[in-house]
Amino acid sequence: MDAKKSKIAWTIRIVVSLLFILSAVAKLSKGHLLDSPYFAISTFEVKQLYPMGFSEAFAPYFSRTLIGIELAMGLLLLQRHWLRKFVIPVTTLLLAVFVGHLTYVTFLSGGNSGNCGCFGELLPMTPIEAIIKNIVAIALLGYLFYILPKVDTRVNNFWVLTTVLFASILSIYMLAPIQPAATTDVVVAPMTETVQDSLLKSSITLPKDTIKGALPVAEVKKDTVQKIAVVENNNEPKKVKSGYASFYPKIDTGKKLLCFFVPGCDHCRAAAKELTEMRKKDANFPPLSIIFMNEEADLIPDFFKDAGANYPYKIIEIIPFWKILGSGKDTPGIKYLWNGNEIKYYWGINENKFVGSDLNTYLHKSYAELKK
């Protein structure tokens, strides 16, 4: 192969290799490369694999093995053993499978919205963008297959391929070990619901030194709850089970706000801060409770410091958190419940994102107005 073709071949190999390596690493990254592998891979499983029908038992193995194969393909494109006979055809086949899957998903969804998951949450990409990227990569590999020498008996050691493959897969399992199935009863709360209820029934605010590092909960006047009860007994939705009573037993009584936050999420902190400001201005503001994802839980004190108040909270593991947040939904999640009925649900940072003024409108609507 002449020098010009050799340069072209190496350029293609490096470009496609980087795509595969970046895809593997991105699926193990939250906001920065490899910053939280277990969180990232769990998110990938819940958002990408569960909707495809993968079971909770099988998804952790499939996700880690798939990412390991992606990493191996990226590395193997940079070596010469069985490159034309095996590595390029297998890599092309893998890309073709991805294209087929993305085309099917796009057809079912009837659009081009959401993140395809090719680069995890690190580099969001729509299905159409991913299809184009993969087709371009297939074309490059096809040209690479064409210009490479058809026979090279000096580079046919298959053990190189198997070693790289198994080492890559093993490294993924080591970076993000599979954890035992988690339940939703992992609970940590610095201020119990009983404490907040007592605050709602008195004009006493929580002293700053009651809980180390805690900030006062916004004050609510004594007669507020009584007045609400009198008005709404004749104009309120029928009481139903919201499904969150295992976290907060009184969540299905009256108006409540239930928030789904990640301690290190800037958008979640901004939402909590805005809710605190709204509560300070409105004596009738509903009690607010939080369900935190067990990711960077050590940042919870800083979270409340940014929020400007301390609220009852419970912590649950990553996968159960995504499940109760809802399929296809993202943080911050803020749900307005009235007698257990979901009145309004804000989630994510796009079209369904939390808007304080919009929530305020819903909070002040009567039940009759909500039914219209």
Please state the domain count of the chain: 2
Tell me the pTM: 0.70
3-state secondary structure of 342: strand
Which pLDDT band, with edges at 50, 70 and 90, does 112 fall under?
low
Same domain, 296 and 229: yes
Domain that holds residue 81: 3-175
73 CB neighbour count, 10 Å cutoff? 25
| Comparison of pLDDT for 49 and 201, the residue scoring more | 49
CB of 126 within 8 A of CB of 115?
yes
Same domain, 363 and 221: yes
Same domain, 141 and 85: yes
Number of H helices, E strands in the chain: 13, 5
Which pLDDT band, with edges at 50, 70 and 90, does 31 fall under?
low
In a domain, 180, yes or no: no
pLDDT at residue 116, as a whole number: 66
121-134: burial string, b at 16+ Cβ within 10 Å, e else: bbeebbbeebbebb
Tens digits of per-residue pLDDT, 263-314?
999 999 999 999 999 999 998 999 999 999 998 889 999 999 999 999 999 9
pLDDT at residue 279, as a whole number: 94
Same domain, 235 and 269: yes
Same domain, 205 and 171: no
Q: How far apart are CA 292 and CA 272, in angstroms?
A: 12
Q: How far apart are CA 104 and CA 330, in angstroms?
A: 23
pLDDT at residue 123, as a whole number: 74
- Residue 82 pLDDT > 60, yes or no? yes
Lowest mean pLDDT among 65-69, 96-100, 116-120, 166-170: 116-120
pLDDT at residue 153, as a whole number: 60
CATH number of the structural domain spanning residue 312: 3.40.30.10
In a domain, 181, yes or no: no
pLDDT at residue 114, as a whole number: 63
Tens digits of per-residue pLDDT, 194-219?
333 333 333 333 333 333 333 444 44
pLDDT at residue 61, as a whole number: 94
Mean pLDDT of 109-137: 75
Mean pLDDT of 350-356: 91
| % of the chain residues with pLDDT over 70 | 78
Contacts of 201 (CB under 8 A, 6+ apart): 222, 225
